[in-house]
Amino acid sequence: MPDGAMPVLDVKGLKTVFRTRGGEVHAVNSVSFHLERGELLGVVGESGSGKSVTMMSLIGLLPSPPAEIREGQVLLGTTDLLKISDADLRDIRGARVGFVFQDPMTSLNPVFNIGFQIMEPLRRHMGLDKPQARARAIELLELVGIPDAANRLNNYPHQFSGGMRQRVMIAIALACDPDVLIADEPTTALDVTIQAQILELVKDLRQKLGMAIIWITHDLGVIAAIADRVMVMYGGQIVEQAPVKDLFANPQHPYTRALLKTIPSISGKREARLQVIEGQPPIISAAPSACSFRARCGHAFQLCQAENPLRRAVGGGAVDQGHDVACHWTPEGKDV
């Protein structure tokens, strides 16, 4: 089969619900997307919109209870990750799917030194012996820009700065050359120069190894710099999906349009006050029957209350291929 003919990852109709004391939280609602070899898919969206929960659902990282994956398929190649055993899933995590967590302090173990935590997956999944794993660990830390790496292996996580911990997480996720890297806000603690170095590294890995990457971030500058496609989430759903240039040039969903307006610029005029999207994000306690953005939307009309909009292609074509949006309203060339 030629490259790109079959996605490395294909997610269909994913639904994740939390059962809490206060009732159900429908964190992910019928989310579908795919990822091709060597592709970088950017994911943006409001805080609490379900980005992390979606990605953690894919590879069984949510504790159940309270999480429950109600529906969906997660195809990694031909394997449905929602159907395989915990042991098989553990092997896939770390070896074929690398994951960088949003909060490095919770995913690095405070009682083991950094060296152990990088070498462990190398020995387990790649069958390296101790000196080989050590050499590779040093190489990985250097790749992510940690100075004096050999001497740093004996340090514990609390002895690293916030950004260094994040880079250790990236090194661990990359250790076994995974097919898919899922990076959840991986560069929030990095300064722009080190971030640029990491972004270069990622570009390189895509070219050399064909690694496919999902990159969750709030930083639209990073999205603009590295993403091929972008997915916008709101209220547990994908509300817009498009090639990166189209998204910035021709945003369709009122949430996306508002989001793009809120970024302060590094070069333009300095605003006295920053733009915000008024109103509160929804708490979704049942499968949505209306548009979840309607209460904050300047364009909402009756239909938005009556029906949850489905994703439709913008300017022809199929959903999840070109540009699509889940909205009843159309901007029709109006200015952003």
Partner 1 sequence: MFDQPVNNLVEVSDLKMYFPIYTGIFRRHTGDVKAVDGVSFNIREGETLGLVGESGCGKSTVGRALLRLYEPTAGSVMISGENIATLDSEALRKKRPTMQMVFQDPQASLNPRMTLADIISEPLIEHTDWPVERRLERVLELMDAVGLNRRFANRFPHEFSGGQRQRIGIARALALNPKFIVCDEPIAALDVSIQAQVVNLLEDLQTRLGLTYLFISHDLSMVRHIADRVAVMYLGRIAELSPRDELFAKPLHPYAEALLSAVNEPDPNRARRERIILQGDVPSPANPPKGCNFCTRCPKAFARCHQEKPELVEVEPGRQVACFLYEDKKPAVSIGRPEAKTEHNQQGETL
**158 or 334: CB nearest partner 1:** 158
Beta strands per DSSP E along 81-179: 97-100
Instruction: Name the minimum Å distance from CB 1 to ligand ATP.
Output: 33
Check residue 66 for interaction with ligand ATP (CB under 6 A).
yes
Preceding amide of 147 cis, omega within 30: no
Residue ranges in contact with partner 1 by CB under 8 A: 18, 20-22, 44-48, 52-53, 102-106, 145, 147-148, 151, 159-164, 166-167, 184-185, 188-196, 218-225, 244-245, 248-249, 258-260, 262-267, 270-271, 273-277, 280-281, 283
**Residue type at 65?**
P
Check residue 52 for interaction with Mg ion (CB under 5 A).
yes
Check residue 315 for interaction with Mg ion (CB under 5 A).
no
**150 or 303: CB nearest ligand ATP:** 150
**126 or 243: CB nearest partner 1:** 243
Task: Name, in order, each residue with C-beta under 8 angstroms of 256's C-beta and a sequence gap of 6 or more.
Answer: 232, 239, 240, 247
Burial per residue of 118-141, b for 16 or more beta-carbon CB atoms within 10 angstroms, e otherwise? bbbbbbebeebeeeebbebbbebb
Check residue 109 for interaction with ligand ATP (CB under 6 A).
no
- Quick one: what does residue 306 bind among partner 1, Mg ion, ligand ATP, none, with the CB cut-off 5 to 8 Å set by partner type? none
Check residue 49 for interaction with Mg ion (CB under 5 A).
no
**Residue choice 162, 264, 279, 315 for contact with Mg ion (CB under 5 A):** 162
* Rounded Cα distance, 309 and 21, in Å: 30
**Cβ-closest position to ligand ATP:** 163
Contact between 98 and 184 (Cβ < 8 Å): no
* Rounded Cα distance, 233 and 165, in Å: 27
Token representation of residue 6: 């079959």
Check residue 45 for interaction with ligand ATP (CB under 6 A).
yes
Site track 23-42 with ligand ATP (rule: CB under 6 A), x = hit: --x-x---------------
Check residue 187 for interaction with Mg ion (CB under 5 A).
no
Check residue 254 for interaction with ligand ATP (CB under 6 A).
no
* Rounded Cα distance, 59 and 9, in Å: 11
Task: Name, in order, each residue with C-beta under 8 angstroms of 241's C-beta and a sequence gap of 6 or more.
Answer: 33, 229, 230, 231, 232, 311, 319, 320, 323, 324, 325
Beta strands per DSSP E along 46-159: 67-76, 79-80, 97-100
Return residues touching Mg ion (CB under 5 A). Answer: 52, 102, 161-162
Return residues touching ligand ATP (CB under 6 A). Answer: 18, 20, 25, 27, 45, 47-53, 66, 102, 158-164, 189
